[in-house]
Chain A
Amino acid sequence: MKRLLAALLLYALAAQAQPDTRRSGFADMSPATQAMQRDDGLNPAWLWVKDGEALWTTTAGRRDKSCANCHGQVSSLRGVAARYPAWDAALGRALNLNQRIQQCRTRHQQAEAWPAEQAQLLGLEAYVAMQSRGMPIAPSKAPELQPLREQGLALFTQRIGQLNLSCAQCHDGLAGGRLAGSVIPQGHPTAYPLYRLEWQGLGSLQRRLRNCMTGVRAQAPAYDSQELLALELYLKQRAAGMAWEAPGVRP
């Protein structure tokens, strides 16, 4: 017991010595936009969440099964969104949450996969992601993910595009500064899928990443490509321990 207490004390001291300077993009938003996210009745992402809620109990595909037939209550998936991307042993590759939903759809429901960024897919993802709200981000520790995570870090620090910028230059080096009128966030993926006012719709983290890449005038990798998944995985690790807030609102 004494040893445990001593360990806890040491841990607390270590935590105190290095204050966590990470901040969610939420902290940099205007009070009006923050209010939109805080209040479910104002959050436009709810239009998609309601869709997801309906889909959860709707049967689909040749097996005529719904999500609820296997998973029961959606609350049983609490914590899932805070952990993904995860390793899929059967496929031998990593999957993010929306790819997992697609897998469920093709493998267990035997239905057609949805196209990327499809409203129903985003709705279902948001509905599942919402269950983990308030939980700390706890990325999967599967050793198989390590090479992909390293690739993610390499991509994060690699200069790309005609503007010759890496993710790290802005989101590590210049975070908190301004790009025209907007605050440069630290780029923690704490709230995806989220409603972006600029998109006037719900979008995934991959859409956001592609958006940034187009912004520095680089060729964005295709949806579901390994590059984007590697970045997702690295970013999730970078945000480990931060609070999960999906479905968020961002300017």
Chain B
Amino acid sequence: MARTVITLPERARRGDIVEVRCLIAHTMETGYRNDDQGQRLPADLIRRFTCHYRGELVCGADLFAAISANPLLVLFVHATESGPLDFVWEGDNGFVQRESRTLTVT
């Protein structure tokens, strides 16, 4: 179970542009490094991030080896109706992390 910190305002006015910050704890091992014994460390990366707002894809990103550990992704959502924001991080070794937050639009 990975640790995540998602920051977004609890409520927004209709039509607002809302900033959503998604931080996740992950090593993002590149696959190009060796350990102390000279053995190649296998790649362990988050490969895909998606964010759905009320079921609609609002942000999708492919991640690669040059991205730092504990990647932070910041996205902007056009607040239209109250509803859930669903976040999914998927990666190597069957890594899947799902989080959900509710955005209340008034």
Q: Write the residues of chain A forming the contact surface with B, with a CB cutoff of 8 angstroms.
A: 40-42, 44, 46-47, 50-51, 197, 200-201
Per the bound structure, the CA–CA distance linking A201 and B70 in Å amounts to 8
B1-41, CB under 8 A of A: which get 1 and which 0? 00111010000000000000101110100000000000000
Per the bound structure, the CA–CA distance linking A47 and B68 in Å amounts to 15
Interface size class, chain B: 10 to 19
Name which of B21, B24, B70 has the most chain A CB atoms within 10 A of its CB.
B70
Give the chain A neighbours of B7 by CB distance below 8 A: 40-41
Give the chain B neighbours of A40 by CB distance below 8 A: 7
Residue of A nearest to B24 (CB): A47
Known: A41-B21, A42-B21, A44-B23. Contact between A50 and B5, CB under 8 A? Answer: yes
Nearest-Cβ distance from residue B71 to partner chain A, whole angstroms: 9
Per the bound structure, the CA–CA distance linking A40 and B72 in Å amounts to 12
Per the bound structure, the CA–CA distance linking A200 and B67 in Å amounts to 11
B69 touching A46, Cβ below 8 Å: no
A47 touching B21, Cβ below 8 Å: no
Give the chain B neighbours of A47 by CB distance below 8 A: 3-5, 23-25, 70
B68 touching A200, Cβ below 8 Å: yes
Give the chain B neighbours of A200 by CB distance below 8 A: 27, 68-70
Give the chain B neighbours of A197 by CB distance below 8 A: 68
Per the bound structure, the CA–CA distance linking A197 and B24 in Å amounts to 15
Per the bound structure, the CA–CA distance linking A197 and B70 in Å amounts to 10
B72 touching A50, Cβ below 8 Å: no
Per the bound structure, the CA–CA distance linking A197 and B5 in Å amounts to 18
Per the bound structure, the CA–CA distance linking A41 and B68 in Å amounts to 17
A-B pairs with lowest CB-CB distance, top 10 = A41-B7, A200-B69, A47-B25, A44-B70, A46-B5, A41-B21, A47-B3, A47-B5, A50-B3, A50-B5
Give the chain B neighbours of A201 by CB distance below 8 A: 69-70
Residue of A nearest to B69 (CB): A200
Per the bound structure, the CA–CA distance linking A201 and B68 in Å amounts to 11
Additional 10 contacts, C-beta under 8 A, given A46-B5, A47-B4, A197-B68: A40-B7, A42-B72, A44-B70, A47-B23, A47-B24, A47-B25, A47-B70, A50-B3, A51-B3, A200-B68
Name which of A41, A197, A200 has the most chain B CB atoms within 10 A of its CB.
A41
Name which of A42, A46, A47 has the most chain B CB atoms within 10 A of its CB.
A47
Nearest-Cβ distance from residue B20 to partner chain A, whole angstroms: 10
Known: A41-B5, A41-B7. Contact between A46 and B23, CB under 8 A? Answer: yes
Give the chain B neighbours of A50 by CB distance below 8 A: 3, 5
Per the bound structure, the CA–CA distance linking A41 and B20 in Å amounts to 10
Per the bound structure, the CA–CA distance linking A40 and B68 in Å amounts to 19
Nearest-Cβ distance from residue A44 to partner chain B, whole angstroms: 5
Residue of A nearest to B22 (CB): A41
CB contacts under 8 Å to A, within B31-78, are 68-70, 72
Per the bound structure, the CA–CA distance linking A197 and B68 in Å amounts to 9
CB contacts under 8 Å to A, within B64-106, are 68-70, 72
Residue of B nearest to A36 (CB): B72
Nearest-Cβ distance from residue A45 to partner chain B, whole angstroms: 10
